[in-house]
Amino acid sequence: MNITIKGIGTVGGFGAGISALQQSLATRQTSAQMVSLDTSKGPIRIPALLADTTSVQAYVDKRALRRIDHYIRMALLGSFLALEDAELLDSKPERMGIIVATGYGATCNTFDFQHSVITAGDPSGSPTKFSNSVHNAAAAHISIILRELGPNLSISHYDMSMPSALLNAIQWLKEERVDWVLVGGVDEFCKVLGYYWHCHYGNTGSSTQATGRAASVNRHAVVGEGSCFFVLTREDECTSAYGCIEDVQLGNFERGRVDLPDNSPFVLGADGFSPGDTRYAELLPRDCRPAVYTPLYGSLPVGMAFDMAIAALALRSGTMAPSPDDLLPALPGLPLLRKMQMPAGKRISCLKLGAGNAFGLVTLQRN
Amino acid sequence: MKPATPVPIVGIGCICSAGTTLAQCMQSLYRGERYPAPPTRFSFSGTSAFPVFEVLDNFFTPDRWKQTEVLRTSQLALTAALEALEDAGLDPRELQHRRIGVCLGTNVGSSMNNESFYRDNVEGCDPYIPPVERFLLSNPVCGIVSEFELNGPAQTVVNACSAGSDAIGIAASWIRSGLCDAVITGGADEMYRVTYAGFKSLFINDDSPCKPFDAHRKGLNLGEGAAILLLVSQALAQELRLGPRGYVLGYGSASDAYHFTKPRPDGKGLRRAIEEALAAAEVNSGDVAFINAHGTGTIDNDLAESIVLSEMLPGVPFLSTKGYTGHTLGASGAIEAAFTIACLETGRIPASAGFSVPDPQLPGLPVAQNTPVSGSVAISETLAFGGNNAVLVLGKGIPTIEHND
């Protein structure tokens, strides 16, 4: 049995849809915006890769969007684009489950609700902001808009949220609980996170308050936001051009083994922010030429979803795009893929090393 | 859907307002004791303080956890986890170098809602960030993984109020598929001022002790706590000679796809979840000894639940234990699963606290006094914001299945 990727939908600082992501891979550029933050020393500006969700109106009625915030819109847009890519938009499949991964949840609503409580007094919080701040807000709104009564799950485990979500999606399909799973990751930028970011990177790339994070890898990190969703199904033979999910591993690389596949190119989730960024060279084979695409979508906890999308596109095209070399974080001991590699081979692994020596490994494979 | 193999539960820990161990909690429940009171862990400037069910601060947590500003949610989870391991007769060191997963449900434990950080930030004070970093790295799952030096998959389920039940269902799935030898699973959540303000903004709090399924119910009371179940594979149970206290027999979940904060009036999502859980467990509705209902005490929840239970499981006694614990959010599904196993063991369910006056609109009513039950299978169900419904079928033994073929 194969867990096949039938559709991909993505939105981020590079634009909306897989064509925008492909364009970004080809040009190795995205458009970071400068965001203003207030500090005690006056306003500062930091770069951020922000997502435009205007095109969600093509899929969701304007009235339904009235009380739906940016975080949920990103998730909805990614979901609809994935369903459209899978040619399921007009005939939503039966027995579909929904799984949403998020590292931080709906941070703007979370902090807005706190703001209303702090500034206007305890009893003055907005009920809409509170309910939309709950971590399963995105998954719930997707099910409500799609009228999908199948199982619905939200996972929030920082950098490991996306591989965790995938682990469940695969379990659901193997157990035949559902025939389809819409699974993806979403995270949003907010100014409080921006401040947190600024404290790590400052104006010089050095950490101003960081605790245990390596300043040398922070130099090129840009905060990102967006969503990336996949439509998965179960097939006897993998017929999808995107390939199938061969393996998902989660664990702790200090205490246990990471079973790296042979002959697989690697896409690393080194985003210049994760404490694990300095450890990839210890795990990967010496002759490995991994690729890193985080500068294209930014640093966000569910970044592995974007790496998976890029890997699936590479399997489809047979071409693995070079890393955007002028934007890359420094990865000690790792020579990165700088030139177009042809062909990509039949297998690509996405590896993320996170806080606390946690790792997530997702291997995609095409027959 | 494939039938689910029973997964042994070899240890249980529970801490909530009713007690700091599962045994204490059950004693308290059977005595009909409950301790709702105005919140003591934070001040609130609202006109009236709604009662809550807090855990007394004298519960055991290792000193090093108290010294490093570990989240209270994580401290509650660890306390329950330590009890669960002790209950199983396991030294935590026996878990190392095995495939041990951790899968917990929480709400507050995963939200980046550090109020003092935010307050300083909006006041332009450049708040110091290490407390936020600690917050981000000390959610209950990360805390348990670190404390016991584990190496399996670790996952935080944030399905609002059904998160604890969902986590247990997922954990059982990890065991069945061979992904893990054991999983530390359950849920945890702490009493938090922002959550309290949020529920107040929704006008679904009762200003008196909550009265689930009662004609005069006005809403819920918040609570806090944690429950941990140690699930193991049959192979590990045999190897370590671990005797099961019960089994996870089945799990089902479904969405209402209706409204973010209101349950679907016809309970369609809940029906699907119950059907799936019973089918997975290969259990008939007639085999169910009792139901530990979600029973928050809100008008809408209790009505929808009562309708579904009276139609799908007519005559099966049910209760809500939230009158003893308050609504412990991400912990509630786990705490109620722990209570369900304990009730199966004793063959008795406690009175549904707060219920005294039947509501004529509810077709099914809970038990009003401690009630003997017979049978080895029970249901624990949870409903959640976002329209999530999660149902666990739990057993004190493996039911004998009669196949007609």
Residue A353 has pLDDT above 60, yes or no: yes
Residue B141 has pLDDT above 70, yes or no: yes
Instruction: Chain A: give the shortest CA distance to residue B71, in Å.
Output: 15
CB A136 to CB B141 under 8 A? no
Q: What number is the average pLDDT over the span B82-101? A: 93
Q: Is there a domain that residue B71 lies in?
A: yes
The set of residues, in sequence order, having a beta carbon less than 8 Å from that of B190 and lying 6+ positions away, is B71, B72, B73, B76, B108, B109, B224
Indicate the range of B135-139, B341-345, B370-374 predicted with least confidence: B135-139
CB A127 to CB B276 under 8 A? no
Which is more confidently placed, B379 or B137?
B379
Domain ranges, residue B99? 7-395
Residue A218 has pLDDT above 70, yes or no: no
What's the confidence (pLDDT) of residue A198?
Answer: 80
What's the confidence (pLDDT) of residue B215?
Answer: 98
What's the confidence (pLDDT) of residue A325?
Answer: 64
Chains A, B: CB contacts under 8 A, how many?
A: 225
**Confidence grade of residue B162 (pLDDT, cut at 50, 70, 90):** very high
Which residue in B2, B122, B385 is closest to A175 by CB distance?
B2
How many other C-beta atoms are found inside a 10 Å radius of the C-beta of residue A27?
Answer: 11
Q: Is there a domain that residue B1 lies in?
A: no
Residue A327 has pLDDT above 70, yes or no: no
Specify whether the CB–CB gap between B330 and B362 falls below 8 A: no
CB A105 to CB B110 under 8 A? yes
Cis peptide before A343 (omega within 30 of 0): yes
Which residue in B158, B203, B272 is closest to A149 by CB distance?
B272
And the tokens for B365? Answer: 């009513």
Q: Is A111 on the interface with B (CB under 8 A)?
A: yes
Domains observed in chain A: 2-365 (3.40.47.10)
Interface test with B, best of A136, A155, A189, A211 (most B CBs within 10 A): A136
Q: What are phi and psi of B13, to 5 degrees?
A: -130, 145
Cα–Cα distance between A281 and A286 in angstroms, integer? 8
Cα–Cα distance between B159 and B309 in angstroms, integer? 22
β-strands A2-12, A226-235 pairing = antiparallel
Residue A208 has pLDDT above 50, yes or no: no
Alpha carbon separation from A362 to A261, A345, A349, A352, B227 (Å, rounded): 10, 16, 6, 9, 31
B197 vs A contacts (CB less than 8 Å): 113, 117, 122-123, 125, 130
**Confidence grade of residue B404 (pLDDT, cut at 50, 70, 90):** very low
Q: What is the dihedral of CA B156, B160, B163, B165, to 10 degrees?
A: 180
Q: What number is the average pLDDT over the span A102-115? A: 88
Q: pLDDT per residue over B31-58, tens digit each? A: 999 999 999 988 777 656 799 999 988 8
Which is more confidently placed, B387 or A133?
B387
Specify whether the CB–CB gap between B337 and B392 falls below 8 A: yes
Q: What number is the average pLDDT over the span A260-279? A: 86
Cα–Cα distance between B272 and B253 in angstroms, integer? 7
**Confidence grade of residue A205 (pLDDT, cut at 50, 70, 90):** very low
Q: What number is the average pLDDT over the span A112-120? A: 79
Which is more confidently placed, A321 or B319?
B319
What's the confidence (pLDDT) of residue A211?
Answer: 34
Least CA distance to B43: which residue of chain A?
Answer: A122
What's the confidence (pLDDT) of residue A207?
Answer: 39
CB B124 to CB A40 under 8 A? yes
What's the confidence (pLDDT) of residue A367?
Answer: 81
Residue B133 has pLDDT above 90, yes or no: no
Q: What number is the average pLDDT over the span A124-131? A: 82
Q: Is there a domain that residue B170 lies in?
A: yes
Which residue in A105, A155, A356 is closest to B155 by CB distance?
A155
CB A110 to CB B44 under 8 A? no
Instruction: Chain B: give the shortest CA distance to residue A207, in Å.
Output: 11
Q: Is there a domain that residue B171 lies in?
A: yes
Cα–Cα distance between A128 and A93 in angstroms, integer? 31
Domain harbouring B63, CATH code = 3.40.47.10
**Confidence grade of residue A256 (pLDDT, cut at 50, 70, 90):** confident
Which residue in B132, B156, B385 is closest to A157 by CB distance?
B156
Residue A282 has pLDDT above 50, yes or no: yes
Which residue in B1, B117, B385 is closest to A136 by CB distance?
B385
Cα–Cα distance between A94 and A180 in angstroms, integer? 8
Q: What are phi and psi of A201, to 5 degrees?
A: -105, -35
Residue with the two structure tokens 């847009």 = A77
Average pLDDT across chain B, whole number:
92
Q: pLDDT per residue over B77-86, tens digit each? A: 999 999 999 9
B253 vs A contacts (CB less than 8 Å): 151-153
Q: What number is the average pLDDT over the span B331-345? A: 98
What's the confidence (pLDDT) of residue B403?
Answer: 45
Q: Is there a domain that residue B403 lies in?
A: no
Residue with the two structure tokens 């420094």 = A330
For chain B, what is the domain count? 1
What's the confidence (pLDDT) of residue A342?
Answer: 63
Q: What number is the average pLDDT over the span B162-184? A: 97
Alpha carbon separation from A183 to A73, A336, B1, B86 (Å, rounded): 15, 29, 20, 37
Indicate the range of A288-292, B276-280, B323-327 predicted with least confidence: A288-292
User: In A, residues 209-248, which contact B (CB 8 Å cutoff)?
Assistant: 209-211
**Confidence grade of residue A112 (pLDDT, cut at 50, 70, 90):** confident
What's the confidence (pLDDT) of residue B303?
Answer: 97
Q: What number is the average pLDDT over the span B334-356? A: 98
Interface test with A, best of B112, B134, B141, B251 (most A CBs within 10 A): B112
**Confidence grade of residue A220 (pLDDT, cut at 50, 70, 90):** low
A150 vs B contacts (CB less than 8 Å): 254-255
Which residue in A107, A144, A192 is closest to B258 by CB distance?
A144
Q: Is there a domain that residue B401 lies in?
A: no
Residue with the two structure tokens 């689930």 = B212
Instruction: Chain A: give the shortest CA distance to residue B130, in Å.
Output: 7
Least CA distance to A42: which residue of chain B?
Answer: B124
Average pLDDT across chain A, whole number:
87
What's the confidence (pLDDT) of residue A217?
Answer: 42
And the tokens for B91? Answer: 């030294």
CB A153 to CB B166 under 8 A? yes
**Confidence grade of residue A328 (pLDDT, cut at 50, 70, 90):** low
Q: What number is the average pLDDT over the span A234-241? A: 90
And the tokens for B27? Answer: 């004693």
Q: pLDDT per residue over B199-224, tens digit each? A: 988 899 999 999 999 999 999 999 99
- According to the 3-state scheme, what is the secondary structure of chain B? CCCCCCEEEEEEEEEECCECCHHHHHHHHHHCCCCCECCCCCCCCCCCCCCEECCCCCCCCCHHHHHCCCCHHHHHHHHHHHHHHHHHCCCHHHHCCCCEEEEEECCHHHCCCCHHHHHHHHCCCCCCCHHHHHHHHCCHHHHHHHHHCCCCCEEEECCHHHHHHHHHHHHHHHHHCCCCCEEEEEEEECCCHHHHHHHHHCCCECCCCCCCCECCCCCECEECEEEEEEEECHHHHHHCCCCCCEEEEEEEEEECCCCCCCCCCCCHHHHHHHHHHHHHHCCCHHHEEEEECCCCCCHHHHHHHHHHHHHHCCCCCEECCHHHHCECHHHHHHHHHHHHHHHHHHCEECCCCCCCCECCCCCCCCCCCCEECCCCEEEEEEEEHHHEEEEEEEECCCCCCCCCC
A126 vs B contacts (CB less than 8 Å): 201
Q: Is A42 on the interface with B (CB under 8 A)?
A: no
CB B111 to CB A141 under 8 A? no
